[in-house]
Amino acid sequence: MSDDVNGHNESIQYVTVVIGGQLFGLPIERVHDVFVPDSITRVPLSRPEIAGVLNLRGRIVTAIDMRRRLHLPPRDDGGTAMAVGIESKGESYGLLIDNVGEVLDLPTAGREANPVNLDARWTAISGGVHRLNGQLMVILDVDRVLGGMSEAAAA
Amino acid sequence: MDDLLREFLTETNESLDVVDVELVKFEQDPNNEKILGNIFRLVHTIKGTCGFLGLPRLEAIAHAAETLMGKFRDGVPVTEAAVTLVLQSIDRIKQLVADLEASETEPAGSDEDLISQLERMAEAGKPPEPVVETPKHTEGALIYQVLERQLRPGEVSLDELERAFRETVVEPDRAAEPAPAAAAAEPAPAPAARPARAAQPKAEAKDGDGETKAGGVSAQTIRVAVDTLEHLMTMVSELVLTRNQLLEIVRRHEDSEFKVPLQRLSNVTAELQEGVMKTRMQPIGNAWQKLPRIVRDLSSELGKHIDLEMIGQETELDRQVLELIKDPLTHMVRNSADHGLEGPEQRKAAGKPDKGTIRLSAYHEGGHIIIEIADDGRGLDIDKIRNKIVDNGLATEFEVEKMSEAQIFKYVFAPGFSTAAKVTNVSGRGVGMDVVKTNIDAIGGTVDLKSVAGKGTTFTIKIPLTLAIVSTLIVESAGDRFAIPQLSVVELVRAQQNSEHRIERIRDTPVLRLRNKLLPLVHLSRLLDITSIGAEATQPVSEEDGFIVVMQVGQQTFGVVVDAVFHTEEIVVKPMSTMLRHINMFSGNTILGDGSVIMIVDPNGIAQAIGPSQSAGTSEEADHEEERTRDTAQMVSLLLFRAGSDEPKAVPLSLVTRLEEFSIDKVERSNGRDLVQYRGSLMPLVYFDEFAQRKTEGSLPMLVFSDAGRSMGLVVDEIIDIVEDRLEIEVGSERAGMLGSAVIKGKATEVVDIGHFLPQAFEDWFRRKEISSEALTRSLLFIDDAPFFRNMLGPVLKAAGYQVTVCASAPEALDMLEHGRRFDVIVSDIEMPEMNGFEFAEAVKRHPRLRQIPILALSSMCTPASIERGRQSGFDDYIAKFDRPGLIAALKEVTTHEFGVAA
């Protein structure tokens, strides 16, 4: 839903995360928590992007490997993975990411459309780009990240 | 909605259900005043309440129905038509109540049609008081109606009605009721409100001590919204999970001060869980309540006499489950009435009572409820189903031919399947049984059917007591744990190389020999397409080892190979994420005591993946034929045991079907011999030493031998070991039952002649088969220098239907052949002194007259070189010793082939 990032002349707070060296931002109201995923149970026969399921304080959370989702190579620096907990349609998901950064308050006006030559698979889940000092932040559209997966699953 | 109205609706719905049931009972037993009294009271309550709630339509019908029933009370004979009419009125009331529930107002319309019929009926059969004015029951005429009633002789019946109340309900102030009740109904709705208040407590009090069903209990019960209970249940489930987690943590820390309070918490939680579960429990009779009425209507509609027996109505099960099986049950009963039972003429022709019976029974078994729906009708028409399967393209004719009866019956549950020649109102539209199955599958249940032509059909539904908590077996495969619902698990088998249970292969398909059947196996890891990851995963388990979880889904039995089996755990099923729901191998997931998430395997999914073609139950013959590619070692697996004396005894393991142990008290004596119940039939026991002192307590270890569906148990003292050794009998034996002695594992061991014991169990063990194959009896020459094999295989070959001539050496055999003895087939050992098997075969093949006789080699030396040598010598086939099935199969092949050529 692009409404989330489409506020009027105000600013939106983003939780920034790093996935495969790229900075991404998630609208803060979509982020329920940030946690270190522990003992993920693989789910056989599931889509490759689904890392598995885990127990987060008594709830079963579906973990999504964002590197796979973004068609990035698997992580090889041996660092501890982090996860961003989000909710969608009453279900809990955890997006597996490399690192969590700070929370940024960015003016909606600064948001730019996706560059036309951006990988189509990225365009599909990106809500735009913010130019920051020294780097670019891609806005992750949470619903499209998840939606694209269920659609494919249904197909 | 108004509280008063809501209460009225709930109560009326309940009352109507009861009236339905009672009326059907009443029709069968018209002289039972108590039943009539009950019906009166309920209908009257409805009428009264309608009055002060301002529901004229309802009141008018109730009144008319009541009047008719008043006549019954006056001694008017109860006719089927009359009861039907009353039932119709009840239906109308139900419909009105349903509308009322939806719209909160009584729907407009007239019920004049019904009312006038009711009145006519009431008038027609009213011998004692022919003077009846026809009351006008129209909405606007309510007041007159009441007034009229007070004037006309009908008032007598009101008194009678009250008497009925007094008789059935012991309540002192009941006698005072008529006036207020009438008064309540009298004025127009608005002023009715006040008297209504006054009447209300009475109505409730009456309900309170309604002796009919609730006894004195209902006064102590309260109504709770289902949602509240559901929420409570969810919370308790969470509590159970948290408790489990805490327990797991404490388990890791010895001497934790949490231990005691946690123990307490654990107990309380368990009790709480049980308590909450209890609130959800309802007797299954609630789901059956509508059935008597349905069956009654059906029997008049179909012109059949049907008796509905209901057994175990009080069996309780979870409300949620109850809701889900209500419709399938109804459908199945309708089906039994329509398809299952024959018409009265047909029944009479078949020598059955013209009244058909549908028996519905429910009982607990383990953590499950078993519901059976049995009819004594014509049974399923297997040919019709067969044709239908082919017609619908569900299977080819060829496939159908090969299916067992049970497999064919299973198609009844296929979508769009109905064998009813004509589509009736009741069933036969081909939407039904598949829906039934789907519904039952959905709650983790199974449905099975048995049918005997001419005797009837029985459907058996097995469902878990509750859906919320499921008992599962936790297993490991490829380093991951999975939960398998216990409902489908039949048994666990440990498979190891060299053990009795080992995983064998037909080409690449793994199978397990289990009690004379071949069980198709599937590796869970392969099914789920997973491989071990990381070093911490247990070392790759050998292909042939593992635990086999034998599962049954419907008629399908199969084994799922896993790497390890842990324990059983009661788990709370949580639905899977929508992203995972398309994976039909899983039915849900849950959090285990240690906090990790585990996937719950869906037995139905596995069964589907395996496919119906692979289920066990194909003919044994075929199984054996496929098996014969193994067992080539020179070493022989021997089962060592002790019986009768201290010396160890041995028997080739391949002859033993299974090892069992029965507790002594399971042994029954009948007709002079000891028997145990084994797998649904009686198995005779043979004691190794008939005269030895028998144990009087403890258990009896035994070797089970099975052949062609019959089993015998050879009771021994102790089973010692299974060893691999060469079997060379060095000292022959004169004793019956002993072939001789051999050195096995460095010890002198007696080798047992099983052929001696088999006839003790069944005198006709061998004879039986000879008879069956008499027409085909072939003569067979068997050459072996070892007495053990002569003694062991001789009977085996005889049992397979051959006329066996045994010969101890090749020259002797050759001599016999050259002197004109004719044989249809020759089986020869290879390693023999004087002349070995190869030389013998060459000699036979050189002989012009004998050349045609097929000749099989039987050897403990099965190397490729020796097989090739055998082929060159002229052997038609080369079989490993101890591969008994292989031998039989090969014999069959060469002899039929030979016959084919000759013919």
pLDDT in tens, B642-668: 887 777 888 877 777 777 777 877 888
Whether residue B585 and residue A146 make contact (CB cut-off 8 A), yes or no, is no
Tokens standing for residue B896: 């039929």
Closest CA relative to residue A16, chosen from A131, A139, A102, A125: A102
Contact B39, B87 (CB under 8 A): no
Q: How far is A32 from chain B (nearest CA, A)?
A: 18
Residues of B in contact with A52 (CB under 8 A): 597
Count of other CB atoms within 10 angstroms of residue B772: 11
Give B 223-252 residues with CB within 8 A of chain A. Answer: 238, 241-242
pLDDT of residue A129: 92
Residues of A in contact with B533 (CB under 8 A): 42
- Digit-coded pLDDT (tens) for B688-737: 776 666 666 777 788 887 765 677 888 888 877 777 776 666 665 666 67
Contact B758, B684 (CB under 8 A): no
What's the CA gap between A30 and A17, in Å, rounded?
A: 14
Q: Does the model's pTM come out above 0.80?
A: no
Q: What are phi and psi of B858, to 5 degrees?
A: -130, 115
Provide the 3-class DSSP secondary structure of residue B506: strand
**What is the average per-residue pLDDT within B327-343?**
83
Q: What are phi and psi of B823, to 5 degrees?
A: -135, 150
Provide the 3-class DSSP secondary structure of residue B55: coil
- Digit-coded pLDDT (tens) for B17-32: 888 888 888 777 777 7
Q: How far is B266 from chain A (nearest CA, A)?
A: 18
Helices (H), B619-687: 620-627
Contact B623, B518 (CB under 8 A): yes
Give the chain B residue nearest A148 (alpha carbons): B579
Q: How far is A97 from chain B (nearest CA, A)?
A: 19
Q: Does B141 touch chain A (CB under 8 A)?
A: no
Q: Could you tell me how far CA B255 lies from the centroid of its own chain?
A: 47
Q: How far is B6 from chain A (nearest CA, A)?
A: 32
Hunting for tokens 């009351």 — which residue is that?
B135
**What element of type H or E holds B421?**
none
- Give just the sign of the alpha carbon dihedral B43, B44, B45, B48: positive
Residues of B in contact with A37 (CB under 8 A): none
Q: How far is B556 from chain A (nearest CA, A)?
A: 23
What is chain A's length? 155
pLDDT of residue B139: 41
**What element of type H or E holds B249?**
helix B226-252
Residues of A in contact with B582 (CB under 8 A): 153-154
Whether residue A55 and residue B597 make contact (CB cut-off 8 A), yes or no, is yes
Residues with Cβ < 8 Å from B715, sequence gap 6 or more? B643, B685, B686, B687, B688, B700, B701, B702
Residues of B in contact with A39 (CB under 8 A): 595-597
Name the residue type at position B754. I
Helices (H), B684-766: 754-761
What's the CA gap between B464 and B844, in Å, rounded?
A: 67
A39, A40, A46: best to mutate for the B interface, most B CBs within 10 A: A46
Buried/exposed code over B39-53 (b: 16+ C-beta within 10 A; e: otherwise): bbbbbbbbbbbbbbb
**What element of type H or E holds B715?**
strand B710-715
Q: How open is the CA angle B678-B680-B685, to the nearest 5 degrees?
A: 30
Residues with Cβ < 8 Å from B728, sequence gap 6 or more? B742, B743, B786
Hunting for tokens 């790229």 — which residue is that?
A22
Provide the 3-class DSSP secondary structure of residue B458: strand
- Digit-coded pLDDT (tens) for B260-309: 888 888 888 888 887 887 787 888 888 888 888 888 888 888 888 888 88
Residues with Cβ < 8 Å from B149, sequence gap 6 or more? B135, B155, B158
- Digit-coded pLDDT (tens) for B37-86: 778 778 877 777 777 677 788 888 888 888 887 777 777 777 778 888 88
What's the CA gap between B324 and B756, in Å, rounded?
A: 57
Buried/exposed code over B256-272 (b: 16+ C-beta within 10 A; e: otherwise): eeeeeebeebbeebeeb
Dihedral through CA B392, CA B398, CA B403, CA B408, nearest 10?
20
A35, A50, A55, A86: best to mutate for the B interface, most B CBs within 10 A: A55
**What is the average per-residue pLDDT within B402-420?**
73
Report the DSSP beta bridge partners of residue A85.
Answer: A33, A94
What's the CA gap between B19 and B15, in Å, rounded?
A: 6
- Digit-coded pLDDT (tens) for B797-816: 776 777 888 888 888 888 88
Count of other CB atoms within 10 angstroms of residue B625: 18
End-to-end CA distance of chain A: 22
Residues of A in contact with B531 (CB under 8 A): none
Closest CA relative to residue B93, chosen from B49, B59, B45: B59
B484: pLDDT confidence band, cut at 50, 70 and 90? very high
Contact A37, A83 (CB under 8 A): yes
Whether residue B530 and residue A44 make contact (CB cut-off 8 A), yes or no, is yes
Residues of A in contact with B238 (CB under 8 A): 58
Q: What pairing do the DSSP bridges indicate for beta strands B316-318 and B355-365?
A: unpaired
Whether residue A60 and residue B585 make contact (CB cut-off 8 A), yes or no, is no
Q: Does A152 touch chain B (CB under 8 A)?
A: no
Give A 73-112 residues with CB within 8 A of chain B. Answer: 89, 91, 93
Q: Does B596 touch chain A (CB under 8 A)?
A: yes
pLDDT of residue A63: 93
pLDDT > 70 in chain B, percent: 74
Lowest mean pLDDT: which of A27-36, B74-83, B133-142? B133-142
Q: How far is A80 from chain B (nearest CA, A)?
A: 16
What's the CA gap between B2 and B8, in Å, rounded?
A: 10
Cβ-in-10-Å burial (0-12, 13-18, 19+) of B304 comes to buried
Give the chain B residue nearest A150 (alpha carbons): B579
Closest CA relative to residue B803, chosen from B828, B775, B784, B829: B775
Residues with Cβ < 8 Å from B611, sequence gap 6 or more? none
Residues of B in contact with A60 (CB under 8 A): 574, 577, 589-591, 597
Residue B765 predicted with pLDDT over 70: no
Q: Quote ipTM for the complex.
A: 0.85
